Amino acid sequence: MTGKDPASRREAADARLQAAAAAAAAPADADLLRLVHELQVHKIELEMQNAELRESRAEREAALARYTELYDFAPVGYLTLTTDGLIAEINLTGATLLGVPRRDLLLQRFTAFVAPGDRERWAGFLASVRTQDGKSNTELALRRADGTEFHALLDCIRHRVGADPTVNPGVASPLEVIMALTDISVRKGIEALLVEAITAAQKANRAKTDFLSSMSHELRTPLNAILGFAQLMESATPPPTAAQQRDLGRILKAGWYLLELINEILDLALIESGKAMLSQEPVALVDVMLECRAMVEPQAQKRGIAMTFPLRDSAWFVNADRTRLKQVLINLLFNAVKYNRPDGTVVVECRPAAADTLRISVRDSGAGLSEEQLGQLFQPFNRLGKEAGAEEGTGIGLVVTKRLVELMGGSIGVNSVVGVGTEFWVELRLTSAPVFAPVDAAAALPQVAEGALAGTLLYVEDNPANLELVEQLVARRPELNLLSAADGKLGMEFALAYQPQVIVMDINLPDISGLEVMQSLRADPSTAHIPIIALSANALPDDIAQALQAGFFRYLTKPIKIEEFMEALDTAFKFAATRSGSNTDHA
């Protein structure tokens, strides 16, 4: 009975009722009436079961329809591939992505829709999916039926059909690959645009740095003549008149200020392009403070400004780049002097701060800054309303200062009260003093003979003004004989022929670079011993580091500072004398 379908059950129930009705025509008894009642109850139960079956079938059909709709119109393509890579099943989204009606895709090879350049990679990927558990994915270029290509992400997993060992024990079930296919063309396009934008930005940064480097060189070259000859006139014999001295002072002040602006712009460009190179090391703060005081205090005294420096505690070492730390402090100190009131004060203090840091503060008694001005303080080219004031500046210095402090792992801030003054502070990480191995100082330093400055100086330079400037400087040293060469090849010929004691070399020469000339002279045993001083308008740190690493004795940047130039010549000639003596002894 239980094995029959609902229609058969209904027929059987009706037959029983008819039989019961026929029996009821005879004299009724209790058993017969009970049987009729049971049959009626059973009929009702069957009708209820039929209703439940109809409802369950409708729910299954609705769920199947929902599943089919979700499968077909999913936002990604779903495919089932046979073990041979044939398309066994695909949803409507997948068929739309491939540009072929679904019925025409069945049993087609999926490889036919892979772009030719990616087919080998697809074959290797499919082979790996068949042999490993878990999900695998790859990105491929696919080609639609109309020939257009798109980028796709393929998420795949292997599956065994009917994997039930009780059905066919010992027989492996066939494999199939289930794949989710996602169109990632938009993402790839955005990534390509981002790469293009990054490449363009990097190219623009390089172009900006190259431009600034070139402009720095082009500006320094005429400045070299302006400042060089102005220094010559200022130190001439007989000395200039008072009026001439005043005019020369104005020329020199404007020239050095222009050079400062060039340096600040170059510094900012290097920092923003990520090319600013720092060398972090333990730096004795007291030593840096002494150097800063020697540079800034004379300027403060001219304005009647008293300066107080913390020189009592010499035990503090901070982790910093010594040169850049000095640049930061000098900028803050010069600002404190520049924007102070007459007969004001500048107080420098150092004290430990939180988390093993040291705070260095520079406090002035100037006019102070408003809240609005403080909010604009570290913006490039913002002079806080002082554009028409008496003090010169571009507003770059504080921006460079802030970024240098941050590059050294520190922080910078400011407190100010209008009418009272301003305090700038810098916090840097404290560190322990460096430990040096003992050295023989006498052996480490070259033994320079007194009065060794004499001999021949070769200057390789193509700019006539620069050449004339050095000629006039060397003329003040009658013990020196000056030779000049206008290009690199002639410079090498003169060095080989005349064997000068010292060579001063420009870097940008019309034929070959000064760096190449220096390397050629270093490679020749007859000139390898000659100290060569680079004198160039190339002032980028990378240029300087590369030249010194290549073997230049010193690197001086234009414009020439007469004292620095003459000191470098003295050192080079004395060094040449010691090398000449050692070579003679050895011979």
Query: CA-to-CA distance for 293 and 311, rounded, in angstroms?
Result: 10
Residue 242 has pLDDT above 80, yes or no: yes
Residue 534's CB is within 10 A of a number of other CB atoms, namely 24
Average of pLDDT values for 35-54?
74
Fold of 281-431: Heat Shock Protein 90 (3.30.565)
In which residue are the tokens 């003679």 written?
A: 584
The 10s digit of each residue's pLDDT in 8-20 is 666 666 666 566 5
Query: Measuring CA to CA, which residue among 149, 145, 153 is closest to residue 125?
Result: 153
Please, which residues have CB within 8 angstroms of residue 524's CB and are 6 or more apart in sequence? 496
Query: CA-to-CA distance for 457 and 503, rounded, in angstroms?
Result: 6
Instruction: Report the range of poorest mean pLDDT among 22-36, 125-139, 506-520.
Output: 22-36
The amino acid sitting at 68 is T
* 8 A C-beta contact, residue 486 and residue 462: yes
Report the CATH superfamily, name and number, of domain 77-183.
PAS domain (3.30.450.20)
> What are the distances in angstroms from CA 127 to CA 158, 180, 309, 566?
11, 17, 75, 76
* Ramachandran assignment for 315, one of left (phi > 0), alpha (psi -120 to 50 degrees), beta (any other): alpha
Would you give the DSSP letter of residue 86?
B
Q: Encode burial over 480-514: b for 16+ CB neighbours within 10 A, e otherwise.
A: bebbbbbbbbbbbebbeeeebbbbbbbbbbeeeeb
pLDDT score recorded for residue 580: 63
pLDDT score recorded for residue 450: 47
CATH class of 190-272: mainly alpha
User: When comparing pLDDT for 539 and 507, which is higher?
Assistant: 507
* 8 A C-beta contact, residue 555 and residue 548: yes
Tokens of 436: 């040096």
Q: Are strands 502-505 and 411-417 parallel, antiparallel or unpaired?
A: unpaired
Name residue 455's beta-bridge partners: 480
* 8 A C-beta contact, residue 329 and residue 379: no
Q: Return the CATH architecture of domain 446-586.
A: 3-Layer(aba) Sandwich (3.40)
pLDDT score recorded for residue 514: 92
Q: Are strands 480-485 and 455-460 parallel, antiparallel or unpaired?
A: parallel
* pTM for this prediction: 0.54
Query: CA-to-CA distance for 290 and 305, rounded, in angstroms?
Result: 18
Residue 289, classified by CB atoms within 10 Å of its CB into exposed (0-12), middle (13-18) or buried (19+), is: buried
* Ordered DSSP codes for 521-560: HHHSTTTTTS-EEEEES---HHHHHHHHHHT-SEEEESSP
The 10s digit of each residue's pLDDT in 440-476 is 434 433 443 444 456 899 999 988 888 888 888 888 8
Residue 188, classified by CB atoms within 10 Å of its CB into exposed (0-12), middle (13-18) or buried (19+), is: middle
Residue 35 has pLDDT above 70, yes or no: yes
* 8 A C-beta contact, residue 506 and residue 470: no
Residue 464, classified by CB atoms within 10 Å of its CB into exposed (0-12), middle (13-18) or buried (19+), is: exposed
Query: Measuring CA to CA, which residue among 135, 134, 77, 136 is closest to residue 110?
Result: 77
The 10s digit of each residue's pLDDT in 263-314 is 777 777 777 777 677 888 899 888 888 888 888 888 889 889 999 987 665 5
Residue 183 has pLDDT above 80, yes or no: yes
Please, which residues have CB within 8 angstroms of residue 393's CB and are 6 or more apart in sequence? 338, 383, 386
The 10s digit of each residue's pLDDT in 363-422 is 999 988 888 888 878 776 565 545 444 455 556 788 888 989 999 999 999 999 998 999
In which residue are the tokens 């502070």 written?
A: 425
Residue 137 has pLDDT above 70, yes or no: yes
Query: CA-to-CA distance for 495 and 43, rounded, in angstroms?
Result: 125
Residue 585 has pLDDT above 60, yes or no: no
pLDDT score recorded for residue 73: 76
- Mean pLDDT (the chain) is 81
Residue 584 has pLDDT above 90, yes or no: no
pLDDT score recorded for residue 12: 63
